Every structure is written in C-alpha cells, then in structure tokens.
Structure 1
Amino acid sequence: MRAKLADDVAGVAGGAISALVGVRREAEAMARSALEEMLRRLDLVTREEFEAVREMASRAREENGRLAARLAEVEARLARLEATPEAPPAVDGAAP
C-alpha cells in the first residue's frame, strides 16, 4: 500500500514538474514575443543594418578625404596660375 502511494505521489510530482516545465517554456515564449513586439515598435535597427551603415560611413569618410586632397591640389594650381603674370596681348597682324 505504501509502495502504491509512493508511486502515485511520484507520478503526481513528475506530472507537476512536467507541467511546470511546460508553463515555464510558454512563459518564456510569451515574454520573448512581447519583447520582440516592443522592440519592433521602437523601430530599432538590427546589428546587420548598423554594420552596413557603419561601413558606408567609413567609405564616405575615405572618399571625402580623397576629394579634400584633390580640391586642395586644384586650388593650389589655380593660385599658381593666378600669380603668374600674363603675357601682353598680341597686336593684330604682328607676330610675338
């Protein structure tokens, strides 16, 4: 009789543990779902999107540096050209 009672108690305890594990999993799934929905509403970016934009910004900074150097070179050339004296205008029919 005691063995049967112990088996029944063990069976009930095992069932209760299984039920609690199931409840825990469902609660975790519900919490995860609620968190994902909240994050969607916050309109946050994913890690992949962030990394892609970071890479684009890095390339843009590099290109900006190249363009700034090129502009400085063109401005220096223009300044040299403006600093050189101009040749006198040619007279019609006369060779210089």
Structure 2
Amino acid sequence: MAIDPLINRLGQQFGELLPANLRGVRNELEDNLKIVLRDALARLDLLTRDEFDIQQTLLSRTRGKVEALEQQVKVLEAQLTALEDSLRTPRS
C-alpha cells in the first residue's frame, strides 16, 4: 500500500473524529497530522513492498547457493577423508 493514500485517509478520519467546536480548524489539524505522520514514517526507514519482495528473492537465491556449496564441501570432505584413509593404509 502506498504511504500517501494511507496518510491522507488517516488525516481525514482524524478530522471526522474532531468535536464540533474544532471543526473550523479541521483542515489545518489534518494537514499538521499528515506532516507529523510523514516525518515519523520517514525516520523509520521502511521498505516498500517491492523492495521487500526483491530482497526476499535475493535471499532465497543466496540460500540456494549456500546449500549447494554446503553439499560440495561435504563431497570434498568425504573425498579428502577417503584419500587420507588410503594413504594411511599400508599397501601389500
């Protein structure tokens, strides 16, 4: 969800909840609330959904590569152990 429509909706809902004697300053209060919300959200350093999805895809690929490398290491360790065993065993 885009941030601006959310902030606008929250500002509007806030304005609708104001008591009748504050309705005259409704637009000013809504605008100030929107500014405060944008500032607070900007300081949170949030990701967009697209950025999150991209990072999730990259993480998945990286995880696959790590798993493949782990398998290669196991094969190489087994080969090394077999080679070491064959060198230790006296030949007849």
Output the TM-score relative to the length of structure 2: 0.55
TM-aligned CA deviation for residue 27 of structure 1: 6.0
Aligned to 2:74: 72
1:34 corresponds to which of 10, 19, 36:
36
Q: Gaps spanning 5+ residues in structure 1: where?
A: 1-19, 89-96
The whole-number CA distance in structure 2 between the counterparts of 1:31 and 1:25 is 10
The whole-number CA distance in structure 1 between the counterparts of 2:32 and 2:61 is 41
Aligned to 1:55: 57
1:85 corresponds to which of 81, 84, 87:
87
Secondary structure in structure 2 of the residue aligned to 1:84: helix
Larger radius of gyration: 1
Q: State how many pairs are aligned.
A: 66
TM-aligned CA deviation for residue 29 of structure 1: 5.6
Q: Gaps spanning 5+ residues in structure 2: where?
A: 1-22
Which string of whole-angstrom CA distances, capped at 9 and with x for unpartnered residues, describes residues 25-68 of structure 1?
77656544432222002212221221111111111110010000
Which one scores higher on RCO, CA 8 angstroms, separation ≥ 6?
2
What letter is aligned with 1:61?
A: R
The whole-number CA distance in structure 2 between the counterparts of 1:52 and 1:34 is 29
What letter is aligned with 2:87?
A: P
RMSD: 2.6
What letter is aligned with 2:60?
A: S
Of all paired residues, the percent bearing the same amino acid is 36
Output the TM-score relative to the length of structure 1: 0.53
